[in-house]
């Protein structure tokens, strides 16, 4: 596949992850021993930016960290990835976002997030970054930062004919109509799709029903990731379930973020190569789930391109 040098801007969260590996998940009131403990870069926004950059995109980040040691650590990590950090504010009297992640021997995870500085910026701060947003091919956002900031970022993108990708995670019962009006592509997983549409997604038929409801809400392109089954897309009268690569998963943390970041790095602005871009994202995600951690598990372009 020919790699495009897309300009991708991510508006989103930055977290320092504290990871615990356990044999099984703890029960309420129970104490168990962890097998391993480590810290690493995380946050859905930062994960997606790292994935886009490693897959070959010219990547910019808009967000916030606290004036603390975790904030400096995260800025250093993102700088090493070659990401443009000029859109990241350091906010006094706020803590950098943190996530506490437990992963069991089956590769399943449980995550608790403290937002901190991730919720300390809004439309005013977004307006100050208009030059970064309009100089993009795609603008990506999630639900780990304020919705009003995301709406403003997407409005600026649309005004400048820049395509927008909404990853509606963590899941919300409803999504602002103002946000959907400026969303070109939405990328829920099966659980998030059910939360938004009320349709239980488990196969291609149910995914198409959910996609129809998302189209009715005003979104042009729908991609629903269905775990190990793959990613279903519905666009311009064409729909298909693109199978996932069969691998042994040890940690699913950042799998969805990797998919979105990698896909955006090769996707054409008119979505004409949508299936190929999904395949590229699926390959990247299949590599991520075979490794532990969020950002440490995200693959590089040369790995994804290997046949």
The residues annotated as belonging to the active site are 257
Tokens for 17? Answer: 């992850």
In the annotated binding site, the residues are: 15-17, 43-47, 144, 189, 225-230, 251, 253, 256-257, 282, 288, 291, 293, 297
Residue 74's contacts (CB-CB under 8 Å, 6 or more residues apart) are 14, 15, 16, 41, 43, 46, 65, 96
Euclidean distance between CA atoms 285 and 299, whole angstroms: 8
Residue 37, helix vs strand vs coil: strand
In the annotated binding site for K(+), the residues are: 251, 253, 288, 291, 293, 297
The angle at the Cα of 18, spanning 13 to 22, to the nearest 5 degrees, equals: 130
- The answer to whether the beta carbons of residues 44 and 142 sit under 8 Å apart is yes
In the annotated binding site for substrate, the residues are: 15-17, 43-47, 144, 257
Q: How many angstroms separate the Cα of 180 from the Cα of each of 40, 91, 183, 221?
A: 33, 29, 5, 12
Q: Which residues of 15-47 are buried (b: 16+ CB within 10 A; e: fewer)?
A: bbbbbbbbeeeeeeeeeeeeeeeeebbbbbbbb
């Amino acid at each position: 596949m020919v790699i495009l040098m897309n300009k991708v801007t991510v508006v989103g969260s930055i977290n320092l992850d504290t990871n615990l590996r356990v044999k099984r998940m703890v029960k309420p009131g129970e104490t168990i021993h962890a097998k391993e403990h480590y810290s690493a870069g995380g946050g859905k926004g930062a994960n997606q930016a790292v994935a886009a950059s490693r897959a070959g995109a010219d990547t910019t980040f808009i967000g916030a960290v606290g004036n603390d040691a975790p904030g400096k650590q995260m800025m250093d990590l993102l700088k090493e990835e070659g990401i443009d950090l000029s859109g990241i504010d350091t906010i006094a009297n706020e803590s950098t976002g943190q996530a506490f992640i437990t992963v069991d021997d089956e590769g399943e995870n449980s995550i608790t997030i403290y937002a901190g500085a991730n919720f300390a910026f809004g439309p005013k701060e977004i307006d100050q970054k208009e030059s970064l947003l309009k100089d993009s091919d795609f603008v990506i956002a999630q639900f780990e930062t304020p919705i009003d900031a995301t709406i403003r970022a997407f409005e600026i993108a649309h005004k400048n004919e820049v395509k927008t990708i909404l990853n509606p995670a963590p899941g919300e019962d409803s999504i602002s109509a103002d946000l959907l009006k400026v969303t070109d592509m939405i990328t829920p997983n099966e659980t998030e799709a059910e939360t938004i549409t009320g349709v239980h997604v488990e196969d291609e038929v149910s995914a198409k029903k959910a996609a129809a409801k998302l189209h009715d809400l005003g979104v042009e392109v729908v991609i629903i990731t269905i775990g190990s089954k793959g990613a279903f897309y519905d666009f311009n009268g064409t729909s298909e379930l693109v199978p996932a690569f069969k691998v042994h998963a040890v940690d699913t943390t950042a799998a969805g973020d990797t998919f979105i970041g990698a896909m955006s790095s090769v996707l054409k602005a008119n979505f004409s190569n949508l299936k190929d871009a999904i395949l590229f994202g699926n390959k990247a995600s299949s590599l991520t789930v075979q490794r532990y951690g969020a950002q440490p598990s995200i693959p590089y372009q040369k790995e994804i391109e290997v046949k």
